Amino acid sequence: MTKQSKVIIVTGATSGIGRATAIAAVEKGHQVMLAARHEDQLEQLSNVLNAKHANSAAYQVTDVSKKTDLIRLVEKTLDKFDRIDVLDNNAGIMKFGSLSTTSSNDWDAMIDINIKGVLYGIEAVLPVMHTQGYGQIVTTDSTAGHQVGQNNSVYSATKFAIQAIMTGLRLEESPNHIRSMMVSPAFTDTGFFNEKDSEPFKQVKRLEPKNVAEAVLYAIDQPSNVDINEIILHPTY
């Protein structure tokens, strides 16, 4: 690892944007703590990354809807890497459907992961970053956090909430040299949708996860006096 390398926690690291971000981060010389729910997938990705770049990756099984899991994730990261430069709150879910066809169980799941999961991560990592005197918190938002679409009102509500949380975090923590950034992609080919869900969107242009990952790494790699607050991404074809 180089002097410029950073220690980055990535939640939702085994698929989609999280996986692409972890791979891109290691390719740029950073070290990553991979966090997701499935240990077999975490181990596989960690082995792949470490085979290419020794000691670049570790993992911790994590359910972001559980506060204790985020506390343990931060502790394990410090045990392994001695510091935390970046927390990438990437884990998220979408339950597609109208308010009449989805249920409170669907809404609770989105709120628990998309909102509470982000807050639990912030709560767990802020004391570490205060002690260090620096840090960066990145959260995957969405263009749905700017405009509500049909059949995704609750998902959109969780992403509007992220706008408020991350804006407030920036206002509160920038004096402490803690940077806050959102990446807000439009439709991205992440596996969020099953075939039934995808039917209305088969002709919709989509980003690739690596496109979003490159935007995240661009923000992470900025000088410490530069805080990119949000990057909004749309596909062109």
**CATH code where residue 191 lies:** 3.40.50.720
Q: Report the number of distinct structural domains present in the chain.
A: 1
The pLDDT score that the predictor gives to residue 201 is 60
Q: The domain containing residue 210 runs over which residues?
A: 7-233
Residue 59 among the catalytic residues: no
Sign of the alpha-carbon torsion through 199, 204, 209, 212: negative
Residue 76 maps to a domain: yes
Residue 1 maps to a domain: no
Average pLDDT of adjacent 10-residue blocks, the chain of 237 residues? 81 96 97 98 98 96 98 99 98 92 95 98 99 98 91 94 98 98 89 55 80 97 95 91
The pLDDT score that the predictor gives to residue 198 is 53
Residue 148 maps to a domain: yes
CA–CA distance, 231 with 3 (Å, rounded to integer): 26
The pLDDT score that the predictor gives to residue 206 is 83
Residue 2 maps to a domain: no
Q: Which of 59, 134, 155, 237 is catalytic?
A: 155
Retrieve residue 177's tokens.
């040299």
The pLDDT score that the predictor gives to residue 187 is 83
3-state secondary structure 208-232: CHHHHHHHHHHHHCCCCCCCCCEEE
